[in-house]
Structure 1
Amino acid sequence: MLVYHLPGTFETREAHLDLLWQAGATGLEERTGVIRAYFDEETELAADIRDGEWRREADQDWLAEFKANLRPVQAGRVTIVPPWLRAEVLAEQTALVIEPGMAFGTGHHATTRMAVEALSDLDLTAQTVLDVGTGSGVLAIAAALLGAPYALGVDIDPITIPIAQENAELNGVPTGRAVFLEGTLGDDLPGDVVPDGVYDVLVANLYAELHDLLAGEYVSHLRPGGPLVLTGILTSKLPLVLEALDREGFTAVQVREDGEWALVTARAGA
Structure 2
Amino acid sequence: MLVYHLPGTFETREAHLDLLWEAGATGLEERAGLIRAYFDAREELSAEIADGEWRDEADQDWQAHFKATLKPVRAGRITIVPPWLRHEVEAGQTALIIEPGMAFGTGHHATTRMAVEALSALELSGKRVLDVGTGSGVLAIAAALLGADHATGLDIDPLTIPIATENAEINGVPPGRVAFAEGSLGLGDESDETFDVLVANLYAELHDLLAGEYAAALIPGAPLILTGILTGKLDLVQTALDREGFGGVTVRGDGEWVLVTATAPAQ
Give the structure-2-normalised TM-score.
Answer: 0.97
The alignment partner of 2:38 has SS state of: strand
Is the Cα–Cα contact under 8 Å of residues 103 and 160 in structure 2 kept in the other structure? no
2: distance between equivalents of 1:120 and 1:103? 22
- CA shift digits 1:110-157 (9 cap, x unpaired): 100000000000011111000000000000000000001111101111
- In structure 1, what is the equivalent of residue 255 of structure 2? 259
Residue aligning to 1:202 = 198
Is residue 35 of structure 1 aligned with residue 31 of structure 2? no
1:222 is matched with 218
Query: Shift in Å at residue 187 of structure 1?
Result: 4.5
1:25 counterpart residue number: 25
* Equivalent residue for 1:212, pick from 197, 208, 211: 208
State the distance in 2 between where 1:227 and 1:245 align: 12
- 1:198 deviates by 0.8
Give the letter aligned to residue 157 of structure 1: D
8 Å CA contact 2:103, 2:163 repeated in 1: no
Supply the distance in 1 between the matched residues of 2:117 and 2:188 (Cα, whole angstroms): 29
Q: Is the aligned partner of 1:139 residue 2:139? A: yes
- Counterparts of 2:122 and 2:188, CA distance in 1: 27
Q: Which amino acid aligns with 2:222?
A: G
Which 5+ residue runs of structure 2 have no aligned equivalent? none
Aligned runs of 1:137-176 on 2, under 5 Å?
137-176=137-176
Deviations 1:55-78 (A, max 9, x none): 111110011011001111100000
Instruction: Indicate the residue corresponding to 2:8 in structure 1.
Output: 8
> 1 CA distance for matches of 2:103 and 2:262?
30
Distance in 1 (alpha carbons) for counterparts of 2:44 and 2:168: 36
> How many positions carry a matched residue from both structures?
266
Q: Decide whether aligned partners of structure 1 residues 173 and 188 sit closer, same or farther in structure 2, where only a CA change above 3 A counts.
A: farther
TM-score by length of 1: 0.96
Identify the residue that residue 51 of structure 1 maps to in structure 2. 51
- The yes-or-no answer on 1:68 pairing with 2:68 is yes
Please state how far the C-alpha of 1:46 moved relative to its aligned partner.
1.6
* Offset, 1:183: 0.7
Which runs of 4 or more aligned residues in structure 1 lie more than 3 Å from their structure 2 counterparts after TM superposition? 187-190
RMSD between superposed Cα atoms in Å: 1.3
Post-superposition offset of 1:23:
1.1
Classify the secondary structure of the residue corresponding to 2:102. helix
Counterpart residue type for residue 64 of structure 2: A
Q: Distance in 2 between matches of 1:97 and 1:41?
A: 33
Q: Which amino acid aligns with 1:128?
A: R
When residues 98 and 187 of structure 1 are mapped into structure 2, their CA distance, relative to the original with a 3 A threshold, is same
Deviation at 1:189? 6.5
Residues 231 and 256 in structure 2, CA contact (< 8 A), matched pair in contact too: yes
Q: How far did 1:102 drift?
A: 2.2
Distance 1:188 1:180, change over 3 A: farther
Structure 1 residue 6, shift from structure 2 partner: 0.5
Q: Cα offset for 1:2?
A: 1.1
The Cα shift of 1:176 comes to 2.3
1:189–1:173 CA distance, 2 compared to 1 (3 A): farther
